[in-house]
Structures are given as structure tokens and as C-alpha cells.
Chain A
Amino acid sequence: MSPAGLYVHIPFCRQKCAYCNFYSIVLEKDPSPFIHALLKELSFYADEFECFDTIYIGGGTPSILPVQSIADILTAVGRNYTILPEPEITVEVNPGDAESAYLESLRLSGVNRINIGIQSFDDRLLRFLGRRHDHRQAGAAIENAIAAGFDNIGLDLIYGIPGQTFGLWQETLSLALSFRPHHLSCYQLTLEADTSLGQQFADNLFDLPGDAAQAEFFFTTADFLENSGYIHYEVSNFARSASLFSRHNQKYWQHQPYLGLGPSAHSFCRGKRWWNHRSVEKYVDALLNGETPVEDAEILTADQLRTEALFLGFRTRWGIDLCDFEEKCHFNLLDEKRDALQRLAAAGLIEISGGRIRPTRTGLAVADQLALL
């Protein structure tokens, strides 16, 4: 089995962003009962997971925690599991928390990759998104990260925000590139019903860019970043070189095993997926009682495994390895779906060569539909 990835979910924020539907609560009291619970959960899975080569601390807002807590978590991981040599250890950082001293300590505690939630350099759009930082803090955060010695810095950006013209988006992208980040995630704004923006949209308070405009955003972004030397390796992800691809996130797209700790975190191992309670309270209570905080689990059927392998594979530029797919899903794609694949290839949506089916950039934009072939 390929080495597993470890995800740790820190479910706290200073305030909820208007678009975000990841599980988190506003931190009002001491987080240490949660940290204790988390350390306890860490000790539960030594039988299923021996070693990790990536660790990703996300949220929520992990940078809301003192560096000591992050260090404690990493130490505990090392105590319970083997961390393979040259691991990728990422922490998500909020621009408002990215003080030089904080970042430096983070790096000294073993973190070697940080991902900064910039989202935009336009203050008006940042306010619309409910972010608490402004463009100055965003720039300072990146500079501080560079100064702290990080040599793998990722930035998150959002496009397709109401009121955002192509011009404004281009400006944000150019500003981001001026810092030469190693990694960029450019997400189309997606509204979920259970968020404040989702509700406002349902109440017709604003409009989203139409279908054609969304496609335009997607393709101009890819063009612009590729011309600037970035590799478009997943629908929303770009990196300056293959060695800078997010190693942790690739595990999700390749059905490799991962262990998710913390409320709402998902784990996957040998065709089984399970997920934790989406509530800090339930999560902590379960662990206090010595139980795993798992809410539910599913064992994927062959059909489900196949569907997932398809839609996950088509999200990435390396696509689907046919041998690998047949071995894992017991399904010969080339034989069973010959006509459909030929049509997709003729339409310029995929390329079939070297034992792989790769989406073209046009195909990447409709990856979910490709998976329905």
C-alpha cells in the first residue's frame, strides 16, 4: 500500500466566512479540551495506519492556535506513527495571523509548506466574502512567509465573485504572481445552501456570473498561469514544478489511503470511508468516553469505487491509468466504453495514449460530465 496522508481538522475560526461550508465554530473559549481529544484520537488508528508521508493541518483556521499546539500535534503524530523521510507538512494560514514570529516558529516546529487563504487582493470583494483581512495584510502575509524561510508557499484565490470583472481578477492574479508563489489554488466561487452567501443568493440579493462567464474565468486563468510558467495539474490547482504539486491532495484524487482527524474529517482506507461527527461537542464527548468519534462509514461497492475513480481521475491532468483502473475497479475501460471514449477523444475532451486517459484542458472544465461516460 502506498504511504498514507494524515489530515487534521481544526474546527475553529475567529469569524465565519460568508461562503465557507467547511465545518467550524467561532472560537470563544479555551481550545485545549479539543486538543486533548485530538491527541487521544491520534492514538486510535495505529493498527490501520503505520506511516505517513504527508500531514495537512487544515480547518477552520489552524493558525488560530498557538504554535505550541501545532507542535504538540506533530509530536504526537511522531509518537504514534512513523513519519517517512522528507514528509510534506502543510498548515493553512489566515493572512491576519501570519506574523513573522508566528510563521518562523511554525517552520521551526517542522512545518515545511504553508497555504495562505488570500482569496482576493480587492478589499471590496474581501468584505463581500466576509473575510477579516485586507489587501495589505494579504501582501504582508506572503512577504512574512518568504522571510520566515518557507520554500513552498501556496496561495488560495477565488474567482467568479459577484461584482468581479475579468479585469479585477486579472489584477488579483498579477499581484499574486508578483510574489512568485510556488503553488496556486484558484477556485470558482461555489455557493452552498447552508452558508450566508448561499442564503443571500437564494433570496435573490445578487447574481452569479453566467455559464459563459464562468468558463471564460476558468480558461483565461489557465492560460494566464500556464503562460507564466505554472503547471495546471488539477481543475483548480497550479504549481511552478511537478515537485511542488500538493502531495497530500493527490492522495484524495488517487484513492490513496488517508486518515482524517478532528470533527467532520473523512478517512479512506482499503475501500472503506468513514467520517467524524460534525460537532466539536459530540467529538470531544465521544473521545472523553473512550470511543471513536466516527459518525458513519461506508464500504464502497465496485460501482461506487469506479464512479469515484473516474471523477477524481478526470480532475487531474495525468488522468486515469488504464492498468491501474482495471486492477482496482475490475473494469476494462477501453473495452467497455470504447464508443463513448472515442467520441470524447474526437471532441477534443480527452487524449488516450501511453496507457492513460488524460483530460485536455477543455475536458478538465467538464470533468464531472466526463465521469458520466
Chain B
Amino acid sequence: MEPILTLKNVGYSYGQIQAIKGIDLQVYGGEILGILGPNGSGKSTLLKVMDGILVPQKGEILIEDSPFAAFGRSHLAREVAMVAQESHFRFSFSTLEVVLMGRFPHLKRLQFEGKRDMEVALDALRATHTREFAERSIHELSGGEKQRVLIARALAQEPRVILLDEPTSFLDLKFKREIFQLISSLSLEKGLSVVVVSHDIDLTSQYCRRVIMLRNGSIYEMGEPDEVITASNIEAVYDCPVLVDKNPATGRPRVSLPP
């Protein structure tokens, strides 16, 4: 199978500080790829590089066979969408207006959203169970609701790859599960490729087909959850002793802290 997104020996530095280096990675159609790693291991940088927000000084990124550099911002936004960790709206927009922002890369300069744009936006609202507050101000929503609206906006971009930066960091158990179930259904039903950065090793283990573990900006291990999420890997990368057993329901690796 041909990958949609290919990273070849990608490196990015903030001034003197090298955030990621020598990243070789493929993202395939319809897969869920989890990115794990401790704070400062380069997870967010890697995601921003994959969305073209940061332009790597080293290596190159391809969408199918075309390098990123050949794409304009708006073309790129039709291929790859990103859901950031946090989002602040200074001015009051309704949920629907926020989701319609996702149509920006599909519209010409002075064009207004049309019937099809509305359909796409409403579908995205439905998929994320946010349709009921379509006409409410984004300021009135809770953290979990807002997070789902931002995912809806990313869906409205109709991308092939969707990048999520710790989508569950502020959410309680129920919403965490909901978000990951949503991610899972997007990849299954819509064939979307999802790349998700998370601090939650167990959820990553449960929902991702492939997992990458980053250490100091490089890929330390890549493979199926069983291969990557092991006690020795986690101890080496996170510098913290752990117990790894199997989740009785899914058979996937499960991480606990020793006393």
C-alpha cells in the first residue's frame, strides 16, 4: 500500500535547540497512528511539521509523491487537518460558524459558504455529536464539547489526514473514551488517517494500530502496540519504572505504576 504522508529524514530546530531529528515515517490511508513520548520529546513539533506549520530545516515531507513545498497553505489544509491542544476564541462565534471555518480552504476569496459547505459542516457536527449546540456560542461550551467542535471543524476541511495534539488532556474518563471512539470510527467509516499524540499510553495502546515512541526528538521504537509498549521501552524513554500487563478486555498492553 502507498503511504499518504511520507517523512524522509526530517529534522527541525528552534534556533540552536534540535526538537526532532532523523524522522523517517509513513502514514497510511485509514490507519490510526499513535505518538508517545515524554514531555519535550518532540511530539508537538513533529505534528506541526506534519501539518506544514513548521517548515523543517532538514529532510522532506511528501503527500503521495508531491513535496509539501509544492502545496499552497490552502491546498495543504485540504489534505491535512490539525486539532490543536487548546484553542482560544477572542470573539464570540457560534459553534456552526467555528465548524464552517473548516471550509476556508475550499472557498474562493469572496465566496460565501453554500449548500454543500453547510452539508459538510452539519455532517461533521453530527459525527462529533455537537449538532445540538450548533447555534450556541463557542464560549458557552465545556472543555470536552469544545474539543469535539474543533474535531468537527477539522472534519469540515475534508482532509485525508487528521492530526490530533493531545485531544483528551483536559477531559474526564467518559469524554476521553468518546473522543477515541470517534477517532476510531472516523478511520473505519471514512477511511481517514489519524495521527494522535497522547500522554495516555493505555488509550493509545487500545485504539492505535501503530505506535511511535519518541525520545529526544528521534524515533526510539515504532510498530504495533505489543511491540512498542513494553516495560523496557517505557523505562528507557520515560525514565520511570512501570508494570506492563494485558488489558483483560482487549488483550492490548496496559501500563501501571509500581508502588
Determine if chain A interacts with chain B: no
Residues of A that sit less than 8 Å from B by CB: none
